[in-house]
């Protein structure tokens, strides 16, 4: 056992320059673990609240007043950490201490335990084989809440190098397509500034359909066969352009609206036209029935809930009841603590819902995400594409190839 002997917490800045919480946990007086909470721009309605009253300062204050509750706990035992957090805050959304503290404390504890026990984090979370690498879902081009005016309403166009035999090849393929997308945009728009969104995907002056055509052409130019070497996916993040009052999807940048039926038709059409193997939040976060229809009609596509499921076990149960999702995004900070998130992972696995472990658009240079992806048997890992905070996670996957225990790339088609 690695016993928590010290705790330090502070406010730092994330990759968007927003304040967040970083925590250091020491075990056995010498093993120091560290974690920094990420944050989202397209935030689900039912996510854990990052900070009490939107104040990182208040979160720190609550933590500092309760530090003693964590001293002496087993840093590896996430249930103990969770129970201590819940003894301070038993609200549904972590509105007393904040999800950022729950996140940073649980990850920093595990990081410290990993050092004390000389075991990689993924093995502490999942002690037995098989271990597989998730496919990196590269954010190639996008808009929405992650970029400015003129960019697509769709948040992310994603590349999945399905033909890659190993992680190194997979990352190289994604970077090649990303680079080629820039050349294709440039050839169409000589004023293109090389602007990128929060996660590194290009942010051109283009509508949704043009953006998909650009990406498809870039894949071809790289010599990759669509559906064989490379496949595409889309994160619509559609709740961010769903208007609850008028009940339409407002594609503001394209100057059009789509009602519910038209949106479902559009999504089905895009899946068919571009042979998409992945769509995320294609309809708004409360439309389980609409998601179920898309899931049923597209059995070769992983229809995934992010804002819809918010890494919440109850919402995963709801999705299973509706047969609403074949995939689920796992973002630990949406749930709060790692214990909450691992429960969600178990619920999804029990219902045959594939997991996709994901970063947030506001990130740190931590690389714990890659361990969580492996430990939860995730099929894919969303970690953006460029920028130190994105590459930190991708490079950790490369380091993990040094463990012979990991057997290769995940099976995308099996559960």
Judged by beta carbon, residue 159 or residue 237, the one nearer ligand PGA is: 237
Judged by CB under 6 A, the residue of 111, 180, 235, 366 near ligand PGA is: 235
Helix axes 56-66, 99-116, angle to 10 degrees: 50
Report the nearest approach of ligand PGA to the CB of residue 372 (Å).
15
Q: CA 282, 286, 288, 293 torsion: positive or negative?
A: negative
Q: Does 200 bind ligand PGA (CB under 6 A)?
A: no
Contact window for Zn ion (CB under 5 A) among 136-144, 190-198, 277-285, 399-407? 277-285
Contact window for ligand PGA (CB under 6 A) among 40-48, 80-88, 121-129, 177-185? 40-48
Report the nearest approach of ligand PGA to the CB of residue 36 (Å).
15
Contact window for Zn ion (CB under 5 A) among 104-112, 170-178, 217-225, 278-286? 278-286
Judged by beta carbon, residue 66 or residue 334, the one nearer ligand PGA is: 334
How far is the CA of 83 from the CAs of 66, 251, 346, in angstroms? Answer: 13, 44, 19
Tokens matching residue 213: 């055509």
- 3-state secondary structure string, 380-403? EEECCCCCHHHHHHHHHHHHHCCC
Nearest to 247 by CA among 263, 232, 233: 263
CA 269 – CA 287 distance, rounded (Å): 19
Helix (H, G, I), strand (E, B) or coil at 331: coil
Q: Which of residues 126-165 bind ligand PGA (CB under 6 A)?
A: 145, 155
Report the nearest approach of ligand PGA to the CB of residue 340 (Å).
17
Catalytic residue among 115, 331, 354, 393: 331
CA 342 – CA 175 distance, rounded (Å): 30
Report the nearest approach of ligand PGA to the CB of residue 351 (Å).
21
Catalytic residue among 76, 199, 285, 363: 199
Site string for ligand PGA, 338-367 (x = CB under 6 A): --------------------x-xx------
Cβ neighbours around 86 below 10 Å, total: 17
Buried (b) or exposed (e) across 170-182, using 16+ Cβ within 10 A?
Answer: bbebbbbbbebbb
Judged by beta carbon, residue 142 or residue 161, the one nearer ligand PGA is: 142
- Residue identified by tokens 């594609």 is 251
Q: Quick check: 142 and 151 in contact, CB under 8 A?
A: yes
Q: Does 199 bind Zn ion (CB under 5 A)?
A: no
Q: Which of residues 302-331 bind Zn ion (CB under 5 A)?
A: 306
* Strands laid side by side in the 248-251 sheet: 242-243, 248-251, 256-258
Judged by beta carbon, residue 123 or residue 308, the one nearer Zn ion is: 308
Judged by CB under 5 A, the residue of 22, 235, 363, 389 near Zn ion is: 235
Q: Does 42 bind ligand PGA (CB under 6 A)?
A: yes
Give the one entry of ligand PGA, Zn ion, none that residue 66 binds, where binding means its C-beta sits below a cut-off of 5 to 8 angstroms depending on kind: none
Q: Does 237 bind ligand PGA (CB under 6 A)?
A: yes
199 belongs to the catalytic site = yes
Long-range contacts (CB closer than 8 Å, 24 or more residues apart) made by 262-267: 263/238, 263/290, 264/290, 264/293, 264/294, 267/236, 267/294
Q: CA 177, 328, 147, 214 torsion: positive or negative?
A: positive
Q: Which of residues 297-326 bind ligand PGA (CB under 6 A)?
A: 306
Report the nearest approach of Zn ion to the CB of residue 42 (Å).
6
Residues recognised as catalytic? 199, 331
Q: List interacting residues with ligand PGA (CB under 6 A).
A: 40-43, 145, 155, 235, 237, 306, 358, 360-361
């Amino acid at each position: 056992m690695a016993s928590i002997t010290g705790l330090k917490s502070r406010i730092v800045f994330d990759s968007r320059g927003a304040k967040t919480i970083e925590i250091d946990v020491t075990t056995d007086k010498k093993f120091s673990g560290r974690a920094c909470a990420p944050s989202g721009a397209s935030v689900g309605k039912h996510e854990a609240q990052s900070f009490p009253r939107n104040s990182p300062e208040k979160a720190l204050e609550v933590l500092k007043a309760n530090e003693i509750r964590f001293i002496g706990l087993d840093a590896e035992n996430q249930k103990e950490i969770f129970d201590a957090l819940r003894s301070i805050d038993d609200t549904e959304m972590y509105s007393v201490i904040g999800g950022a503290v729950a996140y940073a404390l649980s990850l920093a504890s595990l990081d410290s335990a990993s050092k004390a026990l000389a075991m990689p984090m993924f093995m502490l979370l999942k002690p037995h084989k098989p271990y597989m690498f998730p496919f990196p879902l590269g954010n190639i081009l996008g808009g929405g809440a992650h970029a400015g005016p003129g960019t697509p309403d769709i948040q992310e166009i994603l590349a999945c190098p399905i033909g890659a035999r190993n992680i190194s090849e997979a990352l190289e393929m994604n970077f090649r397509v990303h680079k080629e997308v820039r050349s294709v945009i440039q050839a169409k728009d000589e004023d293109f500034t090389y602007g990128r969104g929060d996660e590194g995907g290009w942010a051109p002056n283009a509508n949704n359909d043009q953006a998909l055509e650009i990406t498809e052409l870039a894949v071809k130019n790289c010599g990759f066969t669509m559906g064989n070497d490379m496949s595409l996916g889309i994160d619509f993040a559609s709740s961010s352009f769903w208007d609850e009052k008028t009940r339409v999807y407002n594609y503001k940048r394209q100057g059009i609206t789509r009602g519910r039926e038209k949106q479902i038709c559009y999504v089905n059409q895009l899946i068919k036209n571009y042979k998409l193997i992945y769509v995320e939040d294609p309809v708004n976060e409360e439309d389980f029935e609409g998601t179920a229809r898309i899931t049923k009609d597209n059995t070769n596509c992983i229809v995934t809930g992010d804002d819809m499921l918010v890494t919440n076990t109850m919402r995963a149960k709801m999705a299973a009841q509706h047969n609403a999702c074949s995939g689920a995004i796992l973002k630990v900070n949406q749930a709060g603590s790692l214990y909450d998130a691992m429960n969600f992972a178990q619920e999804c696995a029990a219902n045959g819902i594939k997991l996709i472990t994901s970063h947030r658009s506001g990130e740190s240079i931590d690389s714990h995400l890659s361990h969580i992806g492996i430990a939860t048997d995730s099929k894919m890992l969303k970690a953006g594409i460029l920028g130190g905070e994105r590459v930190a996670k991708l490079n950790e996957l490369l380091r993990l190839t040094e463990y012979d225990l990991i057997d290769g790339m995940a099976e995308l088609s099996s559960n």
